[in-house]
Amino acid sequence: MKRRKIQNQLELSQELKKAAIKQGFNLVGIARVPGSERIELRTAALQRWLNAGHQGEMKWMEAPRRQNIETLLEGVKSILSVGLNYYVKKEKNPKALSIARYAWGKDYHKIINKKLKHVGKWLQKESPNCRWKICVDSAPLLDKVWAEEAGLGWIGKHSNLINKEYGSWIVLGHLLCTETLLPDIPAKPVCGKCQICIEQCPTQAITEPFVVDSNSCLAYHTIENRASKLPEEIKSSLGNWIAGCDICQEVCPWNKKELLSSQDPDMAPRDWILKLTKKQVLSWSDNKWEEQLSGSTLKRIKPWMWRRNAEAIQSEVNSYS
């Protein structure tokens, strides 16, 4: 059957979003480049964050390209922003070590990239002259800022994107393109006076609303810090967290309500992640770790770092066999 030609921007924008939903994305929205004044404000906030040294050793955050979307795709006019729900209604063993939820399943970078590639190919069939580029959060793009601009949700005071339906348990992806699409209405922040995430951070890493100092963040130190030992002030606040930290999300009222559990099999948690013990972490060989971490976002944490983190954990709630 001959493909029906899409007639206008509105129809192309609607059908593009449908194509993304068909790939399994839970949230879809479109932003127009250069975006609203808020893009400029968020970009300026990033520079202040960098000037304050809050990036720690994450030198890639300083890439100038991050503040100029044109350097990622020449002639970019629109962005399709997508969100994938990674919340699953399962809990780890109460005595197991804690791992951030986004890493329970398969590597979301690969999942999102694969899905968006299908969307990009669909767009190219409809608009043969259109050029496009996929960006996940490893790309130098203000991903949460553009997701907010596309209406997927608002940036909370803990710096994560929040959606009324899915809370903040969302991983993001973006399809930059040279096609002029109709933008959605940017999301409006509704955190109001709530500061629970700031108050409950054990290291006071959220120094003010929307500002997270990586140098004090448990997630940064357990994943990005390459030093042989963790700082004493981090060790004393580590609790049971061995890979990442979800505290600021767990206490958020938007995550306290009944949330939709992901039905995507790629988001399903691996069994060992829900029952990991300190004894296992310290006894597994490098080969065993490579086997366990295959296809996981957690590969970023090298075997020696898992052992370092485990040795730093002072909690007694990890000794069950």
Strand, coil or helix: 86: coil
Instruction: Provide the terminal-to-terminal Cα distance of the chain, rounded to the nearest Å.
Output: 61
Phi and psi angles of residue 63, each rounded to the nearest 5 degrees, phi first: -55, 125
Burial of 54 (0-12, 13-18, 19+ CB in 10 A): buried
CA distance readout (Å), 129 to 89, 124, 235: 43, 7, 54
Q: What residues contact residue 262 under an 8 Å CB cut-off, 6+ apart?
A: 26, 84, 85, 86, 87, 88, 268
Q: What residues contact residue 255 under an 8 Å CB cut-off, 6+ apart?
A: 167, 168, 169, 249
Give the pair of three-digit tokens for residue 70: 């044109």
Candidates 137, 184, 213, 286; catalytic one:
137
Rounded to whole angstroms, the Cα distance separating 29 from 31 reads 7
Q: Which helix (H) or strand (E) holds 42?
A: helix 37-51
* 143 counts as catalytic: no
155, 156, 115, 157: which is closest to 136 by C-alpha? 115
221, 217, 200, 182: which is closest to 312 by C-alpha? 221
Rounded to whole angstroms, the Cα distance separating 268 from 89 reads 10
Residues with catalytic annotation? 137
